[in-house]
Amino acid sequence: MTVQELPGAGASHRSTPPPAWRPRTDAAPLLPDPEPYRVLGTPAAEKLDPELMRRCYAELVRGRRYNAQATALTRQGRLAVYPSTVGQEACEIAAALVLEEQDWLFPSYRDTLAAVARGLDPVQALTLLRGDWHTGYDPREYRIAPLSTPLATQLPHAVGLAHAARLRGDDVVALALVGDGGTSEGDFHEALNFAAVWQAPVVFLVQNNGFAISVPLAKQTAAPTLAHKAVGYGMPGRLVDGNDIAAVREVLSEAVRRARAGGGPTLIEAVTYRIEAHTNADDATRYRGDAEVEAWKAHDPVELLERELTARGMLDADGIQEAKDAAEAMAATLRERMNAEPVLDPMDLFENVYAEQTGRLREQAEMLRAELDAEEQS
Amino acid sequence: MTVQELPGAGASHRSTPPPAWRPRTDAAPLLPDPEPYRVLGTPAAEKLDPELMRRCYAELVRGRRYNAQATALTRQGRLAVYPSTVGQEACEIAAALVLEEQDWLFPSYRDTLAAVARGLDPVQALTLLRGDWHTGYDPREYRIAPLSTPLATQLPHAVGLAHAARLRGDDVVALALVGDGGTSEGDFHEALNFAAVWQAPVVFLVQNNGFAISVPLAKQTAAPTLAHKAVGYGMPGRLVDGNDIAAVREVLSEAVRRARAGGGPTLIEAVTYRIEAHTNADDATRYRGDAEVEAWKAHDPVELLERELTARGMLDADGIQEAKDAAEAMAATLRERMNAEPVLDPMDLFENVYAEQTGRLREQAEMLRAELDAEEQS
Amino acid sequence: MTTVAVKPATMAQALQRAMRDAMAEDPTVHVMGEDVGTLGGVFRITDGLAKEFGEERCTDTPLAEAGILGAAVGMAMYGLRPVVEMQFDAFAYPAFEQLISHVAKMRNRTRGAMPLPITIRVPYGGGIGGVEHHSDSSEAYYVATPGLHVVTPATVEDAYGLLRASIASDDPVVFLEPKRLYWSKAQWDPAEPAAVPGIGKALVRRTGASATLITYGPSLPVCLEAAEAAREEGWDLEVVDLRSLVPLDEDTVMASVRRTGRAVVVHEANGFAGPGAELVARIQEKCFHHLEAPVLRVTGFDIPYPPPMLEKHHLPGVDRILDTVARLQWEN
Amino acid sequence: MTTVAVKPATMAQALQRAMRDAMAEDPTVHVMGEDVGTLGGVFRITDGLAKEFGEERCTDTPLAEAGILGAAVGMAMYGLRPVVEMQFDAFAYPAFEQLISHVAKMRNRTRGAMPLPITIRVPYGGGIGGVEHHSDSSEAYYVATPGLHVVTPATVEDAYGLLRASIASDDPVVFLEPKRLYWSKAQWDPAEPAAVPGIGKALVRRTGASATLITYGPSLPVCLEAAEAAREEGWDLEVVDLRSLVPLDEDTVMASVRRTGRAVVVHEANGFAGPGAELVARIQEKCFHHLEAPVLRVTGFDIPYPPPMLEKHHLPGVDRILDTVARLQWEN
Ligand SMILES: Cc1ncc(C[n+]2csc(CCOP(=O)(O)OP(=O)(O)O)c2C)c(N)n1
Ligand SMILES: Cc1ncc(C[n+]2csc(CCOP(=O)(O)OP(=O)(O)O)c2C)c(N)n1
Ligand SMILES: [Mg+2]
Ligand SMILES: [Mg+2]
């Protein structure tokens, strides 16, 4: 299946006058197929790579366990807050796995799992959420941008980075994650437009999990699908079943390939569902019913893949157990490591505001130093 | 010709899970016809209303003369700056004429002509541009919002006003004008999205005049047309020849009618051209060639209509002369009235910052009062 | 006179009540923002309003702050009184162009013809363990923008009264809600809410003779605590609660400082070019010959809001206030 | 030493030259913004750069300020040094969320791992007859945001030197260009541009003994003129040009005020909570016992920028400065 290419930034047909003006109808954009693309449970699943799918499965199981562990840590007071991705693991994992080492991931505040699946130490991924310093790692080391809390603001960053890499002749693709709610922000619009005009090697993955906190998609947009937004930027738009990791992976990898080959950006909407509340602090019963949640639970990303792989003999009980054990081990380590009280030096407050401390900051640092010394003495 | 209706804000199909999920393909949006809609020079022109078209013609001639006079006023120092709409008069006039008395017009900084054509005294319309107070009229009296200089920021205002009117049960449509460059702003996106979700009675008219100051459309968007942006909001998008006043009027009036009937917003792209420089302060030769300008001059909105009407016997030499005379009379009056030195009271600086002057402002007003008195005495 | 025992109410409840009463009295009052409808807001301040007044009067908007405020401008142009909720301090930033270039200027540019009676509620400040972008004290931006009123309550009673006054104002009001006081309680009778105080009057919350602490919002309780503690050191501190940053009630402030001869301004916002700077500048101008010592400030450091685990070092606390009072040249 | 006669250059030329030299020396420097390429910017400050370095180094972007600054953030993350032009002061507002929530915070939030060497050029201030949104002095917003440097030249030489220093800085710099000085001229040899001064050093532009005028950017020439005129009144005024608002060179300021004992801060921005407030607050704290009179301010009024026909009343002028100096309690 291919996505028809759209006219790129070079299209300047509209600066000649109407009498001579002819639209490039031969390159007219296709509307995205409003049926989410699926692989699992369809004949296309036959061609799945067993090795890759087992890896996906192991990561899904680990991701689910990671979610459970992180939520448990909020109850133990070890995390201040955790936005769960239970139900969305297929998107998170596929996003992490589709990238090459030199590529960049731009996660939103919800996407610690994608960062972890890309190889980031979970403790480093979670510093923000435990109330420690914001970014517990060097973004350049992992090519993972800091988690972005202000919604959609990370999208222009991804565009700028991808554009810079292309200008420098480097083979780098940026993959930016955003929620359905985030698509309403002006930054979403500006980022997609810049990406299309610059033909930047960037892929936008919208995880449409049905809600922006309590606000359902129907109050967020009147478009047939969020993928339809691609049309207005002149880039391909794709709709995919976000709980079908094989499908998400395929659509993503096609988009990444196109970006890498100079074919410009793609907008992908992955239809999924946030099974748990917005965060541990949220009460989802205020805005949605059990029936909806239950229906989505029956379309669980881990089970979908497990069912497919076992039915096809690509996964057996041992394989399942192995994945579970690995996940448990990860969880145990994470639990243990998160139980260690983090040690922060208050004097670090003044260290990185600027490359060089201003006089004012030096003064304030001295004041705090004196206060801390006095405390220690008393 | 009809525009197929799109699914409105009520479309909540995506909150049920994929297994049960079926897109409303029966209501799939149409891509806008990428050929600008035209009437003049086509068989459709036969059905034109002679009365209405003569009115349009008179307004076009007056609009062209208004543009010339305003530019002349910049040379005489009577206007600080003037962004000309020569070449765009069909859009400006059609926008003004399509509205009912109770409707609202939301002009951009360029659209004084639309305001004047709606009935605003040109001297009041031009206060901003002569360096006088910003809004020389009561917006509520004329239902013309203040000219908006920050690009696209007027669009959410139009949505909010239209929405408010609908909530109050009033029959009011808002028509908002914006440039091609303005479509890149986040506020454009947010406004269109709000309009669609709320099904607000608002019409967005993009005057694509080829440039945002020096930046051609090809650097502004990679979309096939700006009308295609409608798809991503779930509203109808239309492309129209912006120099064909009959076509612009028809497309606008259809959109206004739909909005009035509760059918929600429409995005219209009018393909036109800015014949003169961005403003009198701009040097257009730095970024575009004569050939392009000449080609567009051959597609002049005034001439297009004049040709059509005379060919069809709807307009004769007398009619033409009459329109010219009226335009000259308007220009003479405008010239004369703008020659009067405006009298501004410096103390007004403090009058309308708040309903009630703060203590600080009272103090500052006293200081200025004392300075002015001292000046007078010396 | 007999006093009726009333149950304690939280600031959150008082704010909710203020909106409810305003909506009941005036059909042009509309509440809008992210999650304000069905959910009742992430802090539940709008709880129940959608149910009572319908979703058209208390509306869950799309997630776009410039769009929200811009739409509110249009609604106000048509005669409504929008009450906009910004979900957190830092999430008001996308709306700054609408705020600065339209909300603040509309009355002035139309020479009074088109005032915009918009109330913009912004939960602000730290001390709740919030992660980045959830603890900013962004008042410096608002107070530096002529055309806006900037108001912030520090008590349950004021929360009600000031919010009513803000909604009733024909001018745009940035209504800053000290989020760590949302759950603070006081004896307050929702059935008999206090008379609505106008905007722009400061209040002496505690009288004293040695020096004046000038503060507002989340720092008021800290200052009152410091004033109590100061008694041990022999200082009798007066505490002024500004309640409104624009307009600023200079009369109350100057009268107090002239009386005490010493002043400290306390706020959570960064010190550098924060609201305290204006107060200090003005006090030294107006009270120059009454001052026994320079006017000092206790503020947040000049750093981005710190990680929650370090915020206690950043926020003005009792000790730091007392240390600063001690520097008011008592030996003179 | 012999001095070579050089032709006068304008500030606009010096700024253009600074970018050109920076781009020639460092291939990671990229200029971007609305109309900066083919047109060379509405003020022609980037004139010729696209031609010399190609459109990929000097890029006409789509018309979207948040997108421009956001893209610059991404480019800086990848190691480029973007120089962003905001077309006018008020058109930087749509980019405030990117500025406050990312540009200012990135180094701090990544604990130094990811600094953002972005220069944001903002033509600012009035006095050019510009219509609404074209004359704002928006520095209060920038200086209240920790993590940003805020710099503004007042002379042709500094325009070059400070812009070079800003582009070379590893931290984000808001570079405020006083647009009414764009066409101011000075003897300045583009072939031998002066050494690049670092960011953060104020300069005494005129020595004097009676009082200190502290100012920056567009108000420097006004203050120098006022100082000349003051001689007639018998006042010998010192004039300090801040050049950098963040960091603030307090040493130079305080040394001057301690010497003269009197100070007036002058700027175009609104007075209320403007940058002058911080200066006054700091001076009275640091120089309390040296002050013969309160520190006063001459600033724009606390109103939205007025219509051009009235701007002369709003802008600090020589007379208003002298009137204010006269109020410095000379009778003491
Ligand atoms: C600019 C901005 N406005 C508001 C918020 C507060 N907020 C945090 S998460 C959220 C909902 C996000 O919804 P969506 O984009 O669908 O992502 P999801 O939470 O579903 O992953 C909101 C409104 C924010 N973080 N940033
Ligand atoms: C938010 C904002 N950014 C920048 C500007 C400066 N500016 C004024 S007009 C203009 C170009 C506008 O182009 P377009 O939207 O196509 O309208 P046109 O001028 O062609 O009518 C620009 C960049 C502005 N007015 N507002
Ligand atoms: Mg969501
Ligand atoms: Mg244009």
Q: How far is C-alpha D96 from the geometric centre of its chain's CA atoms?
A: 18
- Taking 50 as the threshold, does the pLDDT of residue B19 lie above it? no
Tell me what pLDDT residue B5 has: 32
Pick from B13-22, C118-127, D6-15, D142-151: least confident = B13-22
Q: Is residue B139 part of a domain?
A: yes
Beta strands in chain A (DSSP E): 104-106, 174-179, 202-208, 211-212, 215-216, 237-241, 266-271
Letter string b/e over residues B331-343, b meaning 16 or more CB atoms within 10 A of that residue's CB: beebeeebeeeee
Q: Is residue A20 part of a domain?
A: no
CATH of residue B45's domain is 3.40.50.970
Best residue of A219, A221, A240, A303 to probe chain B, by most B CBs closer than 10 Å: A221
Tell me what pLDDT residue D2 has: 47
Instruction: Say whether D267 is catalytic.
Output: no
Q: How far is CA D165 from CA A323, D174, D200, in A?
A: 55, 12, 10
Q: Is residue A12 part of a domain?
A: no
Tell me what pLDDT residue D4 has: 53
Smallest CA–CA separation between D248 and chain A, in Å? 8
Environment class of B40 (CB within 10 Å of its CB; exposed 0-12, middle 13-18, buried 19+)? buried
* pLDDT one-digit tens code per residue, B182-233: 999 999 999 999 999 999 999 999 999 999 999 999 999 999 999 999 999 9
Q: Which residue of C has its CA nearest to B149?
A: C101
Q: Residues 340-369, chain B: which have Cβ within 8 Å of C? A: 348, 351-355, 358-360
Whether B224 sits inside 8 A of A27 (CB atoms) is yes
Q: A167 with A278, same domain? A: yes
* pLDDT one-digit tens code per residue, D113-122: 999 999 999 9
Q: How far is CA D183 from CA B176, C207, D180, in A?
A: 38, 56, 7
Tell me what pLDDT residue A27 has: 46
Cβ neighbours for C239, distance < 8 A, ≥ 6 positions apart: C204, C205, C206, C208, C212, C213, C215, C220, C223, C224, C227
State how far the Cα of A97 lies from the Cα of A54, in Å rounded to an integer: 13
Q: How confident is the model at residue B18 (pLDDT cuts 50, 70, 90)?
A: low
* pLDDT one-digit tens code per residue, C283-310: 999 999 999 999 999 999 999 999 999 9
Specify the pairing of strand A211-212 against strand A215-216.
antiparallel
Query: C151 with C198: CB under 8 angstroms?
Result: no
- Taking 90 as the threshold, does the pLDDT of residue A8 lie above it? no
Q: What is the pTM of this model?
A: 0.96
Q: A129 with A264, same domain? A: yes
Q: A348 or B28: whose pLDDT is higher?
A: A348
Reading the block at residue A91, the tokens are 């998107």
* pLDDT one-digit tens code per residue, D194-238: 777 789 999 999 999 999 999 999 999 999 999 999 999 999 999
Q: Is residue B199 part of a domain?
A: yes
Q: Which residues of B touch D310 (CB under 8 A)?
A: 344, 346, 348-349
Cis peptide before C247 (omega within 30 of 0): yes
Cis peptide before D247 (omega within 30 of 0): yes
Q: How far is CA B258 from CA B17, B162, B205, B264, D43, in A?
A: 33, 13, 15, 7, 44
Report the nearest atom of ligand 1 relative to the CA of C94: 1
Tell me what pLDDT residue B16 has: 40
Whether C43 is in the pocket of ligand 1, judged by its Cβ within 6 Å, is no
The residue to which tokens 């008020």 are assigned: D90
Roughly what angle, to the nearest 10 degrees, separates helices A317-339 and A301-311? 150
Q: Which of B7, B16, B222 sits opposite A295 (nearest CB)?
A: B16
* pLDDT one-digit tens code per residue, A240-283: 999 999 999 999 999 999 999 999 999 999 999 999 999 999 99
Whether A272 is in the pocket of ligand 1, judged by its Cβ within 6 Å, is no
CA proximity to B167, closest of C290, A271, D65, C74? C74
Domains held by chain A: number:
2
- Taking 60 as the threshold, does the pLDDT of residue A12 lie above it? no
Q: B183 with B252, same domain? A: yes
Q: B155 with B271, same domain? A: yes
Smallest CA–CA separation between C274 and chain D, in Å? 6
Architecture label for domain C9-187 = 3-Layer(aba) Sandwich (3.40)
Q: B369 with B303, same domain? A: no
Instruction: Compute how many other C-beta atoms are within 10 angstroms of the C-beta atom of residue B283.
Output: 11
Average pLDDT of every residue of chain A? 92
Q: Is residue B4 part of a domain?
A: no
Q: How far is the CA of A159 from the centre of ligand 3 (A)?
A: 22
State how far the Cα of A162 lies from the Cα of C280, in Å rounded to an integer: 48
Q: Is B30 helix (H, G, I), strand (E, B) or coil?
A: coil
Average pLDDT of every residue of chain D? 96
Cβ neighbours for B137, distance < 8 A, ≥ 6 positions apart: B120, B121, B124, B125, B144, C113
Tell me what pLDDT residue A23 has: 45
Average pLDDT rounded to a whole number, residues B43-70? 97
Tell me what pLDDT residue A5 has: 33
Average pLDDT rounded to a whole number, residues A311-339? 97
Whether A242 is in the pocket of ligand 1, judged by its Cβ within 6 Å, is no
**Catalytic positions of B:** 274, 278, 287
Which structural domain range is residue A361 located in?
346-377
Reading the block at residue C298, the tokens are 């206790």
Q: Is residue B20 part of a domain?
A: no
Tell me what pLDDT residue C194 has: 77
- Taking 60 as the threshold, does the pLDDT of residue A25 lie above it? no
Tell me what pLDDT residue C190 has: 82
- Residue to mutate (ligand 1; options C34, C63, C179; most atoms within 8 A of CB): C63
Whether D114 sits inside 8 A of A352 (CB atoms) is no
Pick from B10-14, B73-77, C130-134: least confident = B10-14
Q: Which residues of B touch A248 (CB under 8 A)?
A: none
Q: Is residue B17 part of a domain?
A: no
Instruction: Compute how many other C-beta atoms are within 10 angstroms of the C-beta atom of residue B262.
Output: 10
Q: B125 or C6: whose pLDDT is higher?
A: B125
Whether B211 is in the pocket of ligand 2, judged by its Cβ within 6 Å, is yes
Report the nearest atom of ligand 2 relative to the CA of B179: 15
Whether A284 is in the pocket of ligand 1, judged by its Cβ within 6 Å, is no
Q: Is residue B23 part of a domain?
A: no
Tell me what pLDDT residue B274 has: 97
pLDDT > 70: percent of chain D: 98
Average pLDDT rounded to a whole number, residues B246-257? 98
Whether A263 is in the pocket of ligand 1, judged by its Cβ within 6 Å, is no
Roughly what angle, to the nearest 10 degrees, separates helices B89-97 and B245-260? 30
Tell me what pLDDT residue A351 has: 97
Tell me what pLDDT residue B25 has: 42
In which residue ranges of chain C is CATH 3.40.50.920 found?
Answer: 203-326
Q: A111 with A233, same domain? A: yes
Tell me what pLDDT residue B11 has: 37
Tell me what pLDDT residue C195 has: 75
Q: A11 or A236: whose pLDDT is higher?
A: A236
Sheet containing strand C149-151, strands side by side: C58-60, C29-33, C81-85, C119-124, C173-178, C149-151, C244-246
Reading the block at residue D304, the tokens are 């939205």
- Taking 50 as the threshold, does the pLDDT of residue D259 lie above it? yes
- Taking 80 as the threshold, does the pLDDT of residue A20 lie above it? no
State how far the Cα of A60 lies from the Cα of A309, in Å rounded to an integer: 13
pLDDT > 70: percent of chain A: 92
Architecture label for domain D203-326 = 3-Layer(aba) Sandwich (3.40)
Tell me what pLDDT residue D191 has: 83
Q: How confident is the model at residue A19 (pLDDT cuts 50, 70, 90)?
A: very low
* pLDDT one-digit tens code per residue, A106-144: 999 999 999 999 999 999 999 999 999 999 999 999 999
Q: B183 with B211, same domain? A: yes
* pLDDT one-digit tens code per residue, B227-236: 999 999 999 9
The set of chains that have 3 or more CB pairs under 8 A with C is A, B, D
Q: How confident is the model at residue A84 (pLDDT cuts 50, 70, 90)?
A: very high
Whether C13 is in the pocket of ligand 1, judged by its Cβ within 6 Å, is no
* pLDDT one-digit tens code per residue, C304-314: 999 999 999 99
The single-letter DSSP state of residue B28 is P
Smallest CA–CA separation between D279 and chain C, in Å? 8
Whether C247 sits inside 8 A of B360 (CB atoms) is yes
Q: How confident is the model at residue B121 (pLDDT cuts 50, 70, 90)?
A: very high
* pLDDT one-digit tens code per residue, B158-176: 999 999 999 999 999 999 9
Reading the block at residue D86, the tokens are 């905001």
Q: How confident is the model at residue D332 (pLDDT cuts 50, 70, 90)?
A: low
* pLDDT one-digit tens code per residue, D234-253: 999 999 999 999 999 999 99
Report which bound ligand comes closest to the CA of A150. 1
Tell me what pLDDT residue C162 has: 97
- Kindly provide the ipTM of the predicted complex, given to two decimals: 0.97
Sheet containing strand B202-208, strands side by side: B104-106, B174-179, B202-208, B266-271, B237-241
Q: Which residues of B touch A298 (CB under 8 A)?
A: 17, 19
β partners of residue A269:
A206, A239
Average pLDDT of every residue of chain C? 96
Q: Which of C96, C100, C273 sits opposite D143 (nearest CB)?
A: C273
Q: A249 with A363, same domain? A: no
Tell me what pLDDT residue B23 has: 45
Average pLDDT rounded to a whole number, residues B336-365? 97
Q: Whose CA is nearest to atom 21 of ligand 2?
A: B179
Q: Whose CA is nearest to atom 25 of ligand 1?
A: A150
Whether B225 sits inside 8 A of A186 (CB atoms) is no
Average pLDDT of every residue of chain B? 92
